[in-house]
Amino acid sequence: MEIVASSVNASFSLPSSSHNFSIPQVPQLKCLSLRVIESRFSLTHGKNKKGVGFTNRDCGNEYSLVGVAPWISSNKLFPRSCLFRSSWSFLARRRKRKSVMKLKDFSFGLKHHASVLFVRLVTGVMLVMSISLASSNPSWALTEENLLFLEAWRVIDRAYIDKSFNGQSWFRYREDALRKEPMNNREETYTAIRKMLATLDDPFTRFLEPEKLRSLRSGTQGALTGVGISIGYPTKAAMPSGGLVVISASPGGPAYRAGVSSGDIILGIDDTSTENLGLYDAAERLQGPEGSSVALTIRSGSDVKHLSLTREKVSLNPVTSRLCKTPASGNGSPKVGYIKLTSFNQNASSAIKEAINTLRSENVNAFVLDLRDNSGGLFPEGIETAKIWLDKGVIVYICDSRGIRDILDTDGSNALAISEPLAVLVNKGTASASEILAGALKDNKRAILFGEPTFGKGYLLMVWFNSNKKEKGNSCFL
């Protein structure tokens, strides 16, 4: 039952009991709700155990009427009664509790909904990816041409010394090239590779197709058919507008007889300007069938010369030697063994050993090693030649972008001429492997250098072969 009272006298009787209760006037009682919830205890002292309880709906607390009546009748007015919580402080606390409970419920609900939303989002993304992969077009798969391009990209990514890649994002270039560059056939793939390497702006990093690789290999063998010059890229200070520089001219060759010397600039080959011509394209144009002619435009100092040269077979025997006597009287004059090394091909180190043994048979007292106009060649041959003259010591430090990667030295096991005094002749045509040899002999105090500053290349060119299966032979990255 419910009782609503507002400053009135209220009374009620309990049908299950013989007792009546009179409730005195309750001041400022807005609402009093009583509800019979169950029979708990007897309100009499007899065996009748029926009782009633009620719930205060305002505060949500449940009370039993057992033992309450005497207490109520002993208090005429119960403004501090705990049974009917009608004080304003209680109402404030009750509202505060409800606010806290609502905030907790809201926080719990927000976390719950956020978790559900996150799970649904992840599930949706995975579902979309699965459907996309399952229904992807087979044409999106990497082709054989794409794989060849990626192989070239990986070689540069792994071995190139400048890890800023000339100030560009190397990974982004790969993704852009695979999307935008046509690679439908081998020639288009080669073009894409050359375009990629051009972004490095490095004249020493080149891609060689199979035919150019064959030309490179022929230059390190016994002979070739051409005009007998070694060429390279000039420094920007020497040639701001481009072109190719003559590093050396082979003694006795067509170019040497025509007066071409180290430091001359090749402006044109036949009708083609060398301003934007690659090094290996130029080498291919200079070589040709024996007896054929080639026109060169040469700038030597301030003079420009137009030459017509006939190609011939040029011997690539890299070593010449002779016995030299110093001007002195008598049979006891010092004898000097002179050795000229023009390049480092596959015969270089063995030819040096042969020359040393021949000159020693003439009882030489010292050696002169002439590296002028030696443009380099095979790096391993340069190392083997250094070992001939050194009993021990470091030959060269090989460094990459992270610092020293390798140290090549010698323990003297291959030494042949370590006791005789040695002088080394160099000039601006001394480059690459010949610079490594000259530097090793100087730094280990084995020889004294004479001449002028060398070419100053400072790079070690490594050849990386790719897995080209469609061509006869491999292409490579230099």
> Does residue 136 have an active-site annotation?
no
Q: How far is CA 30 from CA 58, 61, 198, in A?
A: 10, 17, 91
Angle, helix 186-198 to helix 144-159, in steps of 10 degrees: 20
Domains assigned to the chain = 144-202 (3.30.750.44), 224-313 (2.30.42.10), 319-451 (3.90.226.10)
- On whether the CB atoms of residues 211 and 237 are closer than 8 A, the answer is no
The catalytic residue among 250, 432, 434, 475 is: 432
- On whether the CB atoms of residues 438 and 371 are closer than 8 A, the answer is yes
- On whether the CB atoms of residues 337 and 362 are closer than 8 A, the answer is yes
**Alpha helices of 160-198 — where are they, by DSSP H?**
170-180, 186-198
Q: Are strands 448-451 and 422-426 parallel, antiparallel or unpaired?
A: parallel
Would you give the DSSP letter of residue 49? -
Distance CA 105, CA 176 (A): 51
Residue 463: closest CA among 164, 174, 222, 213: 213
Distance CA 205, CA 197 (A): 7
Angle, helix 379-389 to helix 433-443, in steps of 10 degrees: 20
The catalytic residue among 375, 387, 457, 475 is: 457
- Return per-residue pLDDT of the chain as tens, 478 residues: 433 343 344 444 444 444 444 444 444 444 443 343 333 333 344 444 444 444 444 444 443 333 333 333 334 444 444 444 444 455 555 555 556 555 555 565 666 666 767 777 777 777 666 655 544 444 458 899 999 999 999 989 988 888 899 999 999 999 999 999 999 999 999 999 999 999 999 877 888 887 777 766 666 665 678 898 888 777 655 555 567 888 778 778 899 899 998 888 999 999 899 888 877 788 888 988 889 999 999 998 889 999 999 999 877 678 889 999 877 655 677 899 999 998 888 889 999 999 999 999 999 999 999 999 888 888 999 999 999 999 999 999 988 777 778 899 999 999 999 999 999 999 988 888 999 999 999 999 999 999 999 988 777 777 777 765 444 445 444 4
> Does residue 457 have an active-site annotation?
yes
- On whether the CB atoms of residues 53 and 60 are closer than 8 A, the answer is no
Distance CA 373, CA 455 (A): 9
Residue 455: closest CA among 252, 301, 230, 290: 230
